[in-house]
Amino acid sequence: MKTVLITGAAGFIGSHLCDRFLAEGYNVIGMDNQITGAMSNIEHLIPLKRFTFYHHDITNYIHVPGHIDYILHFASPASPTDYLRYPIQTLKVGALGTYNLLGLSRVKKSRILVASTSEVYGDPQVHPQAEDYWGNVNCVGPRGVYDEAKRYQEAITMAYHQAHGLETRIARIFNTYGPRMRTDDGRVMPTFINKALRQEPLCIYGDGEQTRSFCHIDDTVEAVYRLLLSDYCLPVNIGNDGEITINVLAGLILRYTGSSSQILYDDRRTDDPIRRKPDIRLAREVLKWQPVIPVEEGIQKTIRHFR
């Protein structure tokens, strides 16, 4: 039986990955310090024999006994609200946390997949963003703590691949949404849904014509699973290439919740990207994957969860 270590296991994506790998018959070791995650996301797994949980900050030395086949590194504050609240921890987990896990991969001879982000493209000047676009990041802007942590993470992961022949995978994940997101993480989807359900106003920053591409968690997990088992070591975009404006998103959420919340507009946030859409041709080709859950359906599923 194969063993996988998942960091960020108590978080939104990490907990869904734990579910998936357990369902596939793996032993799963979850690791998390719960800075932004919650045990409630994985409490259903605690009684399972094939699941072990370590409460550990991965920026400190990591010791795990026994063999590990795969490491999935998903630990990091991920929403702007979270990484602006924990700027140093965000840089540390991207840098020291990744360094520690690469060392562990070397010792255990494990393959490692790291969760990168579309934020490595910053406020992109090309559209849609393909993997060979180098990005437009303001390293000293507020988002720099996250963007640069992830850019460093990619760089050190490639360095270990090149210098030590480590088997590495890099997933550049675009906005993912679904059950187990926190209502207070500041991300637009859970924020709007919860405001709408409470009949409170939805606040749009800027004119609402900025676009986002939302990928349902089940599609993201499928892509991560396939990427891990592929033999492709350069970054791969994982996201939904259907692009919608924040105005349209707000309208859909009001419609599906049946809410009469008002829509209010406020100033655009610093360095908030105007357009964001993945080019997923590489994922289609290498992983034989594409998102299959339309955003309208995914929003309705997510609303049911939050209700």
The two beta strands, 111-117 and 70-73, are parallel
Residues 6+ apart with CB under 8 A from 254: 196, 202, 260, 261, 263
- Binding mask 164-203 toward ligand NAD (x if CB under 6 A, else -) reads ---------x-xx---------------------------
What is the helix (H) or strand (E) element at residue 73, kind and residue range? strand 70-73
Q: Which of 2, 24, 34, 184 binds ligand NAD (CB under 6 A)?
A: 34
Strand positions, DSSP E, 107-173: 111-117, 168-173
**Residue 177 among the catalytic residues:** no
Catalytic: which of 26, 83, 146, 225? Answer: 146
Beta carbon of residue 199, minimum distance to ligand NAD (angstroms, whole number): 27
Beta carbon of residue 123, minimum distance to ligand NAD (angstroms, whole number): 16
Q: Is 101 in the site for ligand NAD (CB under 6 A)?
A: no
Q: Is 35 in the site for ligand NAD (CB under 6 A)?
A: yes
Q: Which of 28, 62, 104, 115 binds ligand NAD (CB under 6 A)?
A: 115
Mapped onto helix, strand or coil, the DSSP state of residue 174 is: coil
Q: Is 45 in the site for ligand NAD (CB under 6 A)?
A: no
17, 122 Cβ separation under 8 angstroms: no
Beta carbon of residue 56, minimum distance to ligand NAD (angstroms, whole number): 6
Q: Is 204 in the site for ligand NAD (CB under 6 A)?
A: no
Give 183-239 as a DSSP string.
TTS--HHHHHHHHHHTTPPEEEESSS--EE--EEHHHHHHHHHHHHHSS--S-EEES
Other Cβ atoms closer than 10 A to 132: 10
Mapped onto helix, strand or coil, the DSSP state of residue 246 is: helix
Beta carbon of residue 260, minimum distance to ligand NAD (angstroms, whole number): 29
- Binding mask 65-84 toward ligand NAD (x if CB under 6 A, else -) reads ---------xxxxx---x--
Q: Is 33 in the site for ligand NAD (CB under 6 A)?
A: yes
**Minimum CB distance to ligand NAD smaller for 73 or for 195:** 73
Residues 6+ apart with CB under 8 A from 146: 76, 77, 78, 80, 83, 90, 94, 117, 119
Mapped onto helix, strand or coil, the DSSP state of residue 132 is: coil
Beta carbon of residue 225, minimum distance to ligand NAD (angstroms, whole number): 14
Q: Is 237 in the site for ligand NAD (CB under 6 A)?
A: no
Q: Is 10 in the site for ligand NAD (CB under 6 A)?
A: yes
**Which residues lie near ligand NAD (CB under 6 A)?**
7-8, 10-14, 32-37, 57-59, 74-78, 82, 93, 97, 115, 117, 173, 175-176
Active centre residues (catalytic): 146
